[in-house]
Amino acid sequence: MRGGETTVFEVIVRRFEEPLRAWLAAQSPPAVDVDEVAQRSFVAAFARLDDYELGTNFGAWLFTIARFQLMTEATRLRRIADYHARYAPDLLQRELERRSSEPPESCQARLAHLKTCLSALPEHLRRFVTWRYEEEIPLAEMSARSGRSVPAVKKLLWKLRRQLHDCVERRMAAEGAAS
């Protein structure tokens, strides 16, 4: 049963890494290392390949493993004494847990729509997203580069996230209506 699986499994990792990372990114509470949980999920899936029932939905099986890996990590974090004080408003965590019941594929659709929405942003706005998420420069540096105050940069980032979220929602709704 295990002959050749490593090679085949790499194909599976390549096919699933983006949807799995997207799902984990959207569901993980603050301070969770998404890539670490994703890698652990793949390793666990590989170790349990014998348990996988041929003919059933492999994606669903993998995401079930990932869900347990995420729960384990979230539990570990909760047990750290000052986690809530420092990182996670519990209401946010509860809302994220509620959303984790959404089908995993919708997270990948969100990711795809987000890329489209992002590319449609005018360059003078998109550069703030690039600075923040690709270059990861401090707000003060963004302020210096753009000539805006730090509060104005913060406000703009807030607006951009909202705009992008609204754009993604519209696209999800349109896709839902079309299908």
Partner 1 sequence: MRPDERFTELWTDYLEGELDEGGIAELRELLSADEALVRMAADSYQTHRLLSLVAQGSSESRESFVRETMARIPADGSCFMDRVMSHITPQPGERRAPAQRALVLRWLPWVAAAAVLVVLGAILLRAPEAEPDAAQVTEVVGAVRWTSGDGEVADSLAIGALLSGGTLEVLGPESWCTLRFRDTSTVTLSCSGRLTISKLAQKELHLQVGALSAVVCPQPADRPMLIHTPEADLQVLGTAFRVEVGSSSTALRVSEGRVRVTRLADGSSAEVPSGHRAIASLDPRGTLQVVPRSAPTTEWRGRLPDGTIHGTWVPSAGGGGRLLATPLLLHRDGEPITLRVAAQSVSRGGSPPVALEANSAFRVRGSVASAGTVHFGFSTARMDGQFAGKFIIACPVPALTDGAGVLDLWFRLTDFQPLASVDGGALPTGAPESADGLELRDWWWCTREGDLGLAVSSVELTVSDTVPPPAPGPAPSNLGEALKAAGFERLLGTWVDAETGGEDIRVTYGWRFEDEVMDITASDRTKKTASLMGLNSGTGEVYHIGVDSEGTSSLGTWSFKEGEAVLELGFTTVAGEQGGRRFRHEFVDDDTMLMTIDYPEPVVLRMVRVKGK
Residues 25-64 binding partner 1 (CB under 8 A) are 25-26, 28, 30, 34-35, 38-39, 42-43, 46, 52, 54-60, 62
- Across the chain, the runs of DSSP E, i.e. the strands, are none
Does 147 sit near partner 1 (CB under 8 A)?
Answer: no
Does 172 sit near partner 1 (CB under 8 A)?
Answer: no
Question: Among residues 41, 61, 45, 65, which one has the least CA distance to residue 53?
Answer: 61
Does 81 sit near partner 1 (CB under 8 A)?
Answer: no
Both tokens assigned to 46 = 């590989």
- For partner 1, the closer of residues 21 and 77 by Cβ is 21
3 sits in the region (left: phi over 0; alpha: psi -120 to 50; else beta) called beta
Taking CB under 8 A as the criterion, the residue among 7, 51, 101, 147 binding partner 1 is: 7
Taking CB under 8 A as the criterion, the residue among 50, 51, 134, 147 binding partner 1 is: 134
C-alpha–C-alpha distance, residues 20 and 35, integer Å: 9
Q: Shortest approach of partner 1 to residue 73 CB, angstroms?
A: 15
Total interface residues for partner 1 by CB under 8 A: 91
Q: Shortest approach of partner 1 to residue 79 CB, angstroms?
A: 19
- For partner 1, the closer of residues 71 and 120 by Cβ is 120
Does 115 sit near partner 1 (CB under 8 A)?
Answer: yes
First to last CA, the chain: 39
- For partner 1, the closer of residues 4 and 75 by Cβ is 4
Question: Among residues 33, 38, 31, 34, which one has the least CA distance to residue 16?
Answer: 38
C-alpha–C-alpha distance, residues 167 and 173, integer Å: 10
C-alpha–C-alpha distance, residues 141 and 147, integer Å: 10
* CB atoms closer than 10 angstroms to residue 27: 22
Does 158 sit near partner 1 (CB under 8 A)?
Answer: yes
Site for partner 1 in 82-101 (CB under 8 A): 85-86, 89-92, 95-96, 99
